[in-house]
Structures are given as structure tokens and as C-alpha cells.
């Protein structure tokens, strides 16, 4: 059996040369760019090994350069379930499968068994596990000899077994190869085949998933002089192999990247189709008849010059391989920057910004490295910033003006002041020439209180058009910030006041405006106080049909100073018509009330007449009541005529009002 396994090992050994990683570029979008390069001997195949999770990106981005010939093809390990591949093979291999059961799958095939110096050659009839008298089982293989005799062989005594048919050996080797791949299913190989007969240098370039690089900064605020900024890049080697003296670049910016499933085989579900004559006839059910119902880029130099500062030396080791720095004087309380070498080279790359480290970097697999990429003076000023009105104290802050000529990638900043730790801050990515405020500590020596007030509503504008009156009214809102400084030094406080879409800032003018805040600079004297009053205006616009507006409401608009003389005259005419109509309504209502009262009185008189007619001697009283009814009838006729005339007058007035309203325009 040792011979069989030796055969498998020899057959599985392929002449392939690995390409080591020589260059790495790490981005902020979850991928990294890799270069691998090496000399490949004549007749050898270049091999690239990847994690299975990397294959989609590799197949999407892989570039191959063969400087001595031409690449003829690429081949790679198939991403197919192991069991599916095994099921397609004639031989089935099971875990802890007895040899005799494996041979039983080749019944009728030739086999050669060596045992105790003797060799038995025959044809496999069957194989089984036979129970032993005491305990356990033995492997019994029944073979048919050339003489026609059947012989039972105990494979536990065999030293080797060989299949006579080379095709069966190939099948076994293939099945074992599939199982070997399943044990390292996280690793997939890509083979680069080129023109045979000569050595060549092959370079492979591709993208693969990778952790984003991280940046962290240290800012030193001296008691006098310019502040200094030091930046470190943190990179993680999760590639599965060592980076030995690689050319490393980190890039600030986020190019678009996505995953496209290219590695896994795609299967299409197909329909089953047969000829009609192969199908059995089925009964037809005929249906009854039915009716058919039928959406601040700023240009920078292409090449940025690095400021004084940092870098790393070439060399191995588990970290970033920093070169020894020259001897430096003892740091004072004013200076606590790291002692490092030359600066990383920064340059614009389209919308991105690259930091290329000048010396090769070494990082073992599964390790991370911190590599300095910036150390230079930076334009900055110390101040206080008050943003959170729910808190009584502002924060100590620094206004950083990026004059480094480089893009400062976003990350945490640890602030040191007067040789001691002062606090921490977070900074967004900062382009060259831009500036940011970063706050790092609470200033307990300054307190801020806030008061709010809302003024009366003032009419700012009145407009009329085709019967609609539109008014714009304004309400002023004031916010007063009271600042108190108990420390013996003057302070500058930047007060951030929220920008509200429905309000317009009236005063004072903001020193700076962001997407969400106005910024006001307030100087607070030593052991003194100061006030900032921010006045805003909210403008409301309302439209209403003039016909539905009362005369009192219209009269309020007439008195508005925002209304011109011509507009005022038009509204006064409308008011007069509305008043005249109201007077007509009053006349009609009064006459109607008199008619109703007279009608009720007549009803009472008629009831009295009916009662008197049944009593003798009351004719005189009945006559008086009859005379009174006649007078009331005449009065009712006058009232009805008055109502009819007034209604006619009102109709004319309403027509005139409608005409006035229709012509209103100001």
C-alpha cells in the first residue's frame, strides 16, 4: 500500500513556482492592490494562492505581465462543492473506509496483492468485513485466479495492493486530489501558463479584500511657537503570507468597489421537454363561454512636497522595520514628538491622495504595523468652542489649518500641551488648504447660559391676485448667550448657533457658516463676562380668499406700513362694499324679524276672534280685532317690499364686490 500512496504523491506534485508579494497599496474601501513578481524557470508554471473569499475580486481585477513571452491561459481550482465532485467520480471514498470495501467497488477489475513475500494476481469478485470469533472484524477479499479457482485473501496480512488497470489508478488519484483540496478549501490556486522553453519574469497585479488602513495623530501644542502634528498609519497583514520588504502605499479616499460573484459556477435551471407523441393523452375539460375583460473641490498641485520629518528604514522583523534614527537631544517639556526618520511622499492621485513610504516594509502574516507618515509644523490656533447648549461649559479646541500640502486622513488625535497629555479628538479627512475645529477637553473655567425670546408677529408684505390675498408675516426670535470667564486670562470662544431652515439670521453677521451651524467669535475678558445676542427672523406666508376675510381683518392689513397707497385704496373699496352688504343684511334681518313678530301677533288675534264669535254681544270687539288685522296686513306688505328692495340692492352690491375683488392686483 505504500507504493500506492507514493504514486498519488508523485502524481499530485506539480512544477509550480510561487510569486511573492512585492507591492501593496491599501485603500479605504475594503480592498487592497497587490503586486506579485518573480522569475519562473523554463517549463515551470507560476502559481498564485488566494483565499476562497478573495477569488471574486481576483477574477475581476487580475492583470498578468510576462516580460519574456506571452501568457497562454490561466487556470484555477474550481469552486464546486466537494461532495458534488466526488459524486461525479466512479469511485467513492468515505471517511475511515476499509480497504476491502474500497476494492469491492472495482469488482471485475484486476488486482495484485503482495503478502508474506508471495504475490497473488486475480480479478476482484467481492470484498467484505467478516466477524472474528473473539472480537472485531477482518478484511476478506475474494479474487478469481487465472486457473478459475477462487481464493479468499486476508488483507490485514497484505503489504501492498496494486490495481492492474491504469485508468482505475487515475480515478483513485483524482478522488484523493479532490479530498486534499477539501482539507484546504480556504486556499485556492491560480496557475499562469506561458510559452514553454525559456525562463521568464511574471508579475501579477490584482485587488483583494483587505482591512482598511487606519490613521492616528499626535498634536503638540507648545506654550509658544507653531504646533506640530505627527501622523501614523496602522496597517493589518491578513493576506495569509509574510510581507518581506514590500513597497507599501496607503491611500486616502474611497474609490467605488463592489463584489461580483465570478468564482462560483453558475447553473441555469432548464426545463424538461419531450416530444408530444411521448406523452400520454389526457382528458380535456372544455370551459363555458366567457367575455374577455381586458428620479468644495479644490484643485491642488499634482505633486506635494513633504515637510520635515518621518519615514522608516528597510529591514525585517515583526513590525514596520523602522530604520534607526540619529541621536537626538533630550526632549524638553515643550517637545515630546517621536524620534523618526524621513517623511512619506504624498501626492494627488485623481480624487485620491497617496502616501508612499520610501523604504521597504516588512510585516509578518497575522501581524499589524504602525508606520509614521507625517511629522511637521501645522498652522493652528487654540480657542474654545461652545456647541452643546445642554452643557454649561465650552470645550478647549484647536482650529487646524492644513498647510502641510497633503491630505490628512481622518482619525483620532491625541493632544499634548506643555509637555503633558491634554485630551483627545476626532478629525475628519482634511484636504490641503482646508481647516477644521477639533475639541479635546472641557474648559471648566468658562460657563455659558442661554436664554430665548420670541417677539410679536409683524406683517412684512401683502399681495393680492385674482381674489386671493397673500400675506407674509415675520416673527423675530432672539437667543442670548451669556459667557463668564473665571480664569486670569482672556479667552476667545467660538459659539456655534444651529442653522434652522425656517429662520433667517438678522444679526450679528456670522464669522463662519457650516452646513448645520453659524459660528460667532466672542472675546471674554480675564475674570469677566460677555454676551452674544443672535437675532433671527421666521417668515410665514399665508394665502386666503378675500371674499372670506372679515372687514376687521382687512382693516388691519390696510393699516400695515408695508402696503402702498394704491393697494390701500383698493382694499378700502372692498371694505366699503363689504360694509354696505353687511348693512343690507342687517336691514333684511330686521325686517324679517318684524314680519315674524307681526305674524305671531296676527295668529293670536285670529284665535281671539274665533273665541268671541261663539259669544253673543261681542261683535264690536270682533270688528276692532278685524281692523287691527287689516292694519297689520298693510304693515306686512310694506316690510316685504322693503326686504325685496334690500335684497335687490344686496345683489347689486355683491356683484360690485366680486368685480372689485377680481380686479385686485398689488
Grade residue 320 by pLDDT with cuts at 50, 70 and 90: very low
Assess whether pLDDT exceeds 70 at residue 315.
no
pLDDT for position 31: 92
Q: How far apart are CA 619 and CA 130, in angstroms?
A: 146
* pLDDT of 195: 67
Alpha-carbon span 73 to 383, nearest angstrom: 64
pLDDT score at 180: 65
pLDDT band, residue 609 (cuts 50/70/90): confident
State pLDDT tens for residues 29-84: 999 999 999 888 877 888 888 888 888 899 999 999 887 777 778 888 766 555 56
Closest CA to 394 of 446, 449, 436, 437: 446
**Residue 639 in contact with residue 591, Cβ under 8 Å?**
yes
Q: What pLDDT digit, counting tens, does each position of 444-499 carry? A: 999 999 999 988 777 777 888 878 888 888 888 999 999 999 999 999 999 999 99
pLDDT at 351 over 90: no
Q: Which helix (H) or strand (E) holds 25?
A: strand 21-26
Question: SS in 3 state form for 439-489?
Answer: EEEECCCEEEEEEEEEEEEEEEEEEEECCEEEEEEEEEEEEEEEEEECCCC
Check the CA dihedral 627-629-633-634 and report its sign: positive
Structural fold of domain 2-20+60-200 = SH3 type barrels. (2.30.30)
pLDDT at residue number 335 = 53
Rounded distance, CA 58 to CA 45, Å?
Answer: 18
Q: Distance (Å, rounded) from C-alpha 558 to C-alpha 540?
A: 19
Contacts of 595 (CB under 8 A, 6+ apart): 636, 639, 640, 643
Does the structure show a pLDDT above 80 at 537?
A: yes
- What residue spans define the domains of the chain? 2-20+60-200, 214-255+303-325+334-437, 446-548, 555-663
Of residues 495 and 7, which shows the higher confidence score?
495
Task: Output the CA–CA distances (angstroms, integers) from residue 263 to 51, 117, 177, 184, in the order listed.
Answer: 12, 51, 20, 17
* Burial environment of residue 503 by CB neighbours within 10 A (0 to 12, 13 to 18, 19 or more): middle
Give me the phi and psi of 460, to 5 degrees please.
-100, -30
CA–CA separation, 357 and 347 (whole Å): 12
* 3-state DSSP assignment of residue 386: strand
Residues belonging to the chain: 666
Under 8 Å CB-to-CB from 616, ≥6 apart: which residues? none
CA distances from 655 to 544, 554, 582, 649 (A): 20, 19, 14, 10
Which has the minimum average pLDDT: 98-112, 242-256, 518-532?
98-112
| Residue 527 predicted with pLDDT over 90 | yes
Cα 265-31-39 angle, rounded to 5 deg: 80
At 311 the pLDDT is 33
* CA 194 to the chain's CA centroid: 43
pLDDT in tens, 202-213: 899 999 999 999
Strand partners, 313: none
- To the nearest whole percent, how much of the chain has pLDDT over 90? 27
Average pLDDT over residues 196-205: 81
Query: Is 221 in contact with 417 (CB distance < 8 Å)?
Result: yes
Mean pLDDT of the chain: 80
Q: Lowest-confidence range among 3-12, 395-404, 462-471, 559-568?
A: 3-12
Residues 57, 207: contact at Cβ < 8 Å?
A: yes
Q: Are strands 411-417 and 214-221 parallel, antiparallel or unpaired?
A: parallel
Chain segment 142-166, per-residue pLDDT in tens: 988 888 889 888 888 888 888 888 8
* Integer Cα distance of 18 and 585 in angstroms: 104
DSSP 433: T
Mean pLDDT throughout 427-439?
Answer: 90
Q: For the chain, what percent of residues have pLDDT higher than 70? A: 84
Distant-in-sequence, close-in-space partners of 223: CB < 8 Å, separation ≥ 6:
334, 418
Please give the angle made by the CA atoms of 459, 460 and 465, to the nearest 5 degrees. Answer: 95
Q: Residue 651: is its pLDDT beyond 60?
A: yes
The pLDDT, as a whole number, for residue 286 is 35
Average confidence (pLDDT) over 304-317: 35
**pLDDT at position 518, please?**
93
Mean pLDDT of 171-196: 72
Specify the pLDDT at position 606. 84
| Helices and strands in the chain: count of H runs, count of E runs | 8, 32
Name which of 162, 79, 160 is nearest 124 in CA terms. Answer: 162
Amino acid at each position: 500500500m505504500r507504493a500506492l500512496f507514493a504514486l498519488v504523491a508523485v502524481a499530485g506534485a506539480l512544477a509550480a513556482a510561487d510569486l511573492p508579494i512585492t507591492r501593496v497599496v491599501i485603500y479605504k474601501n475594503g480592498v487592497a492592490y497587490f503586486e506579485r513578481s518573480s522569475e519562473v524557470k523554463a517549463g515551470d508554471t507560476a502559481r498564485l494562492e488566494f483565499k476562497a473569499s478573495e477569488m471574486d475580486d481576483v477574477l475581476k481585477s487580475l492583470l498578468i505581465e510576462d516580460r519574456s513571452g506571452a501568457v497562454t491561459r490561466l487556470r484555477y481550482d474550481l469552486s464546486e462543492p466537494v461532495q458534488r465532485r466526488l459524486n461525479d467520480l466512479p469511485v467513492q471514498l468515505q471517511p475511515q473506509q476499509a480497504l476491502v470495501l474500497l476494492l469491492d467497488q472495482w469488482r471485475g477489475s484486476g488486482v495484485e496483492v503482495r503478502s508474506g513475500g508471495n504475490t497473488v494476481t486475480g480479478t476482484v469478485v467481492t470484498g467484505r468485513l467478516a466477524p472474528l470469533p473473539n472480537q472485531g472484524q477482518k478484511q476478506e477479499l475474494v479474487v478469481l485466479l487465472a486457473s478459475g479457482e477462487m481464493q479468499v485473501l486476508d488483507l490485514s496480512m497484505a503489504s501492498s495492493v496494486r490495481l492492474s488497470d491504469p485508468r482505475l489508478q487515475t480515478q483513485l488519484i483524482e478522488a484523493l486530489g479532490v479530498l486534499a483540496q477539501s482539507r484546504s478549501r480556504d486556499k485556492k490556486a491560480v496557475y499562469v501558463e506561458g510559452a514553454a522553453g525559456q525562463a521568464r519574469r511574471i508579475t501579477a497585479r490584482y485587488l483583494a479584500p483587505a482591512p482598511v488602513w487606519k490613521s492616528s495623530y499626535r498634536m503638540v501644542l507648545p506654550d509658544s511657537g507653531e504646533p506640530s502634528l505627527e501622523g501614523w498609519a496602522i496597517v493589518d497583514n491578513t493576506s495569509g503570507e509574510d510581507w518581506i520588504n514590500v513597497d507599501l502605499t496607503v491611500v486616502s479616499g474611497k474609490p467605488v468597489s463592489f463584489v461580483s460573484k465570478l468564482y462560483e459556477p453558475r447553473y441555469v435551471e432548464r426545463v424538461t421537454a419531450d416530444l408530444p407523441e411521448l406523452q400520454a393523452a389526457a382528458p380535456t375539460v372544455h370551459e363555458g363561454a366567457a367575455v374577455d375583460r381586458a428620479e468644495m473641490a479644490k484643485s491642488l498641485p499634482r505633486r506635494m512636497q513633504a515637510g520635515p520629518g518621518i519615514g522608516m528604514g528597510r529591514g525585517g522583523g515583526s513590525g514596520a522595520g523602522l530604520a534607526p534614527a540619529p541621536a537626538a537631544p533630550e526632549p524638553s517639556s515643550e517637545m515630546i514628538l517621536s524620534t523618526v526618520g524621513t517623511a512619506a511622499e504624498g501626492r494627488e492621485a485623481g480624487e485620491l491622495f497617496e502616501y508612499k513610504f520610501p523604504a521597504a516594509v516588512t510585516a509578518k502574516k497575522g501581524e499589524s504595523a504602525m508606520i509614521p507618515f507625517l511629522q511637521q509644523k501645522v498652522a493652528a490656533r487654540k480657542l474654545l468652542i461652545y456647541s452643546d447648549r445642554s452643557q454649561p461649559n465650552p470645550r478647549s479646541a484647536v482650529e487646524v489649518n492644513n498647510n502641510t500640502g497633503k491630505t490628512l486622513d481622518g482619525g483620532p488625535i491625541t493632544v499634548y500641551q506643555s509637555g503633558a497629555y491634554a485630551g483627545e479628538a476626532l478629525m475628519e479627512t482634511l484636504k490641503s488648504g482646508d481647516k477644521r475645529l477639533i475639541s479635546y477637553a472641557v474648559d471648566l473655567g468658562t460657563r455659558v447660559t442661554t436664554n430665548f425670546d420670541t417677539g410679536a408677529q409683524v406683517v412684512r408684505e401683502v399681495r393680492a391676485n385674482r381674489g386671493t390675498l397673500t400675506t407674509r408675516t415675520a416673527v423675530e426670535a432672539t437667543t442670548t448667550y451669556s459667557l463668564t470667564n473665571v480664569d486670569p486670562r482672556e479667552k476667545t470662544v467660538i459659539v456655534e448657533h444651529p442653522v434652522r431652515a425656517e429662520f433667517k439670521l438678522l444679526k450679528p453677521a456670522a464669522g463662519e457658516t457650516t452646513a448645520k451651524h453659524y459660528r460667532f467669535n466672542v472675546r471674554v475678558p480675564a475674570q469677566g463676562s460677555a454676551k452674544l445676542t443672535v437675532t433671527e427672523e421666521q417668515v410665514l406666508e399665508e394665502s386666503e380668499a378675500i371674499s372670506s376675510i372679515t372687514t376687521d381683518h382687512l382693516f388691519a392689513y390696510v393699516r400695515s406700513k408695508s402696503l402702498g397707497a394704491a393697494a390701500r385704496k383698493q382694499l378700502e373699496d372692498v371694505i366699503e362694499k363689504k360694509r354696505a352688504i353687511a348693512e343690507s343684511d342687517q336691514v333684511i334681518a330686521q325686517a324679517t324679524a318684524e314680519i315674524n313678530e307681526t305674524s305671531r301677533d296676527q295668529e293670536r288675534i285670529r284665535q281671539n276672534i274665533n273665541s268671541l264669535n261663539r259669544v253673543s254681544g261681542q261683535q264690536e270687539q270682533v270688528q276692532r280685532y278685524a281692523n287691527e288685522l287689516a292694519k297689520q296686513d298693510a304693515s306686512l306688505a310694506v316690510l316685504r317690499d322693503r326686504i325685496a328692495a334690500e335684497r335687490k340692492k344686496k345683489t347689486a352690491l355683491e356683484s360690485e364686490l366680486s368685480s372689485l375683488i377680481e380686479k385686485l392686483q398689488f
